Amino acid sequence: MGALHESDLQLLPTAFADEVPKGQQLDAHKCQSQPGHIWLILASFHCYTDINECTRNPCQHGICVNRYGGYKCTCSPGWTGQNCQKDINECIRNPCHHGTCANQDGGYNCTCVPGWTGQNCQKDINECNGTNTPCQHGRCVNKAGGYKCICSSGWTGQNCEQDVDECTGNPCRHGSCYNKDGGYTCSCYNGWTGQNCQQDFNECSGRPCHHGSCENTPGGYNCRCSRGWRGRNCQDGEF
C-alpha cells in the first residue's frame, strides 16, 4: 500500500464510497451522506467510514464517547471494564470505618456499629446531645462510639437507673436504716443523733436530774442524786 503522508488525508463533511485517484479532487455531487458516519478519505485509496459504535449503547453503566475507529466508555461510579459492565467491589478497600461493608451493584452499603453514623460510619453519634440523655440520674459524657454516665450519689448502673441500697453497708451506727431512692434515712436510738446516728446526744443539757448532778454517758445519762432524793431523775424525795 505504501506510506501515507499528512497531505494524503482529507476529512470531508459528507460521505462517499468511490475510489479517488491521487491528485484529483472529489465532486460534491458524488457524495452521499449517511447519518451517524464520518468518512475518512485516503488519497489514491478507498474511502473508509468510521462507525459510530455509541448508537448501539455498548457502555452498560456509563457514557459512550465515539472515537475514530472505536469508542470509549466513561464509567459511572462503582463500575469498570471496557463496557462498564463489571461491578467494582468497594468493600476491598474497607470504606466503612466503624461498621460492616456489603457490596452492591454500582456501590456499597455500610452497616454501622452502635455509636456511629454516616455513609462510611465515620461520624460519632453524640448520645448526650439534647434533653433526652441516657443517664437517668447522672451526668452524660460523650465518647467516641459511645458515652459514659457519671452517676449522682445513691445511683448506679450503666445509665444510672439502679438505686444503691446504702443500708447494706450499715451506715446507721446507732439506729435503724431505711433505704430510699437515691439515698437512705437513719432512725436513731435514744441518746444518739446525726445523719448516721454517730453522735452522742448530751441529755444533761436539758437538766434532767431534778435534785442531783447529771453525768452524760454514750447513748444516755446518769443522775447522782443529792442526799434525801432518789429516782431516775432524782425526783422522788425520801421524806
Which pLDDT tens digit goes with each residue over 150-180?
999 999 999 999 999 999 999 999 999 999 9
Residue 131 domain-assigned?
no
d(CA 136, CA 163): 11
Q: Which three cell numbers stand for residue 82?
A: 471496557
Residue 39's pLDDT is 46
Number of domains in the chain: 4
- What are phi and psi for residue 103, nearest 5 degrees? -70, 145
Segments forming the whole domain that contains residue 99: 89-124
Q: For the chain, give the mean pLDDT.
A: 84
| DSSP code at position 70 | E
Residue 178 domain-assigned?
yes
- Do 18 and 35 have their domain in common? yes
Residue 42 domain-assigned?
yes
Which pLDDT tens digit goes with each residue over 74-106?
999 989 999 999 999 999 999 999 999 999 998
| DSSP code at position 81 | S
Residue 157 domain-assigned?
no
- Do 93 and 67 have their domain in common? no
Residue 50's pLDDT is 81
Task: Choose the most confident range, by mean pLDDT, from 127-141, 165-179, 225-239.
Answer: 165-179
pTM of the model: 0.52
- Do 33 and 93 have their domain in common? no
Domain at 183, CATH number = 2.10.25.10
- Do 35 and 62 have their domain in common? yes
| DSSP code at position 204 | G
pLDDT-above-90 percentage for the chain: 70
Name the β-bridge partners of 142: 147
pLDDT band at 46 (very low <50, low <70, confident <90, very high): low
Q: Which three cell numbers stand for residue 50?
A: 468510521
pLDDT band at 130 (very low <50, low <70, confident <90, very high): confident
Angle at 177 between CA 173 and CA 183, to 5 degrees: 110
